[in-house]
Each structure stands twice: as C-alpha cells, then as structure tokens.
C-alpha cells in the first residue's frame, strides 16, 4: 500500500521537472573538431547602432535563424552543414523581409575546409563561424569573394579589405564563434556598425540550469523529503 502511495508522488515530481529540463537542454551537432555554436530553431539578432553616412539605417536589424544542422557531404568531404533563414528589419517602412533561406555554410576544420554560400560570401556576412574559431580559415574562404582585396587578423578581430581598398569589413568575434560587432568602412570612414543584441550565454551545447529549472527542482526535492520524513515519523510511532 505504501509503495502505491509513493509512486504518484515520484511521478508527479518527474512530470514537474521534465518540461523545464527538456526546454533547457541544447544539442549541438559536431563533426570531428568542428562545432556550430547554435541550435536548430535559435534566432540571433544584430542591430544597427551607428550609421553616420546613412542615419536612416539606425535601428535596422538582421535576424539569423538556424533552421538545420546536420552531417553530410560537401565537395566530396564529410562536413557539418548549416541551413538558415536571414530576415532584415527596415525601420523606415517598419517591415521584416526575408533575404535568404537555404544553406549557410559547410565546415570540417579537421580537413581545413570551410565554405559559405554566395549570399554570405559576396558581402562577407560571416555572422557566426564554427568553433574552435579559426580566423585564418575564415579569411581564406572569404577571399573567394570577387570583392576581396586583402585581410588582416589581430586576435579575434578580422578585417576584410575589399573593392581595391575602398571598403573594409571588420568583425569582432567571441570565442564561441559569434560576431559580436561588425563594422563597415567606406574610404576610412565608418559607414555602419552592427552589434549582436541576443545573449549568447549558454550557447554551444551547454545545459543552462537557470532559475526556471532550479525552482521546480527545489519543489520536487521538498516533496520527496517531506514524504520520507512523514514515513519515518510513522515508523517511529508504530515502534513506540
């Protein structure tokens, strides 16, 4: 009879915690040493925080949604392939527009292989890169753009010089592979700056035990403890 009573309590505790646990578990697809630092369904947003040459662009946004991450073949190589959707927010007309749906990149850093689709290659839109970050490999891949002229690397800062030196694209990457800031220059003058405004703590396959997970966990533990304590006190009374 006592076993019948404890079972519903344990079951209740499991169902109380399980939804929070599942909602916080993140799986990241990895191939060899290559990991893409987002999860399917994640959306990351970059905001225009400076635009001296075109003030009307202030407040515009880029959304990068990871649609799929999978292992496949690309250019006869085993690769981690990422599909995404890119949407742009135009403040002038207050409208989101879809710019790209499809493949973003294919990567296998163990084989020193990285490929960007043409949409991202031409205008150097390397918003998120595989980890561990290899900026020399990123720069080498972006050099396939018809606009590419040269590049420099300084720590986690990558500068692509393009259009014969007329324009520059500067990326500041976090160690987790996100371009936290992107700057575009035209004849040495800052034209636009994008900044990542989506928190990236917990990305990269971690299981974030945030407050929403801790609260139900504590409740469940308290329920079990109270039950055990009550059962123990009943035993003591019987022995008396």
Task: Please state the domain extents for the chain.
Answer: 30-196
Q: Beta partners for 102?
A: 84
Q: Is the pLDDT of residue 15 over 50?
A: no
What's the pTM? 0.74
Pick the CATH number of 30-196 from 2.40.360, 1.25.40, 1.10.10, 1.10.260: 2.40.360
**Contact criterion met (CB below 8 Å) for 86 and 66:** no
Tokens of 11: 């079951």
Give CA–CA dist 182/61, Å, rounded.
12
Question: Contact 150/163 with Cβ under 8 angstroms?
Answer: no
Share of the chain above pLDDT 70, in %: 71
In this prediction, residues 197-212 reach a mean pLDDT of 54
**Mean pLDDT throughout 162-168?**
97
pLDDT at 214: 43
C-alpha of 69 from chain center:
12
CB 36 within 8 A of CB 28: yes
117: tokens are: 């689709």
Average pLDDT value for the chain? 82
| Count of residues in the chain | 240
């Amino acid at each position: 009879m006592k076993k019948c009573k404890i079972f519903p309590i344990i079951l209740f505790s499991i169902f109380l915690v399980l939804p929070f646990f599942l909602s916080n578990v993140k799986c990241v697809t990895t191939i060899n040493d290559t990991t893409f630092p987002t999860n399917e369904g994640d959306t990351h947003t970059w905001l225009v925080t400076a635009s001296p040459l075109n003030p009307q662009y202030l407040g515009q946004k880029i959304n990068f949604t990871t649609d799929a991450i999978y292992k496949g073949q690309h250019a006869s190589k085993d690769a981690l392939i990422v599909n995404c959707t890119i949407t742009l927010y135009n403040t002038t007309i207050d409208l989101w527009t879809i710019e790209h749906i499809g493949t973003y990149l294919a990567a296998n850093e163990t084989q020193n292989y990285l490929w960007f689709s043409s949409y991202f290659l031409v205008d150097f839109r390397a918003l998120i890169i595989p980890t561990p970050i290899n900026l020399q490999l990123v720069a080498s891949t972006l050099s396939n753009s018809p606009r590419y002229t040269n590049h420099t690397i300084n720590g986690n800062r990558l500068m692509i010089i393009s259009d014969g030196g007329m324009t520059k694209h500067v990326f500041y990457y976090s160690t987790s592979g996100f371009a936290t800031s992107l700057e575009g220059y035209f004849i040495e003058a800052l034209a636009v700056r994008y900044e990542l405004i989506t928190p990236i703590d917990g990305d990269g396959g971690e299981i974030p035990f945030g407050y929403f997970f801790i609260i139900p966990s504590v409740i469940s533990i308290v329920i079990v403890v109270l039950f055990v304590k009550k059962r123990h006190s009943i035993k003591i009374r019987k022995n008396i």
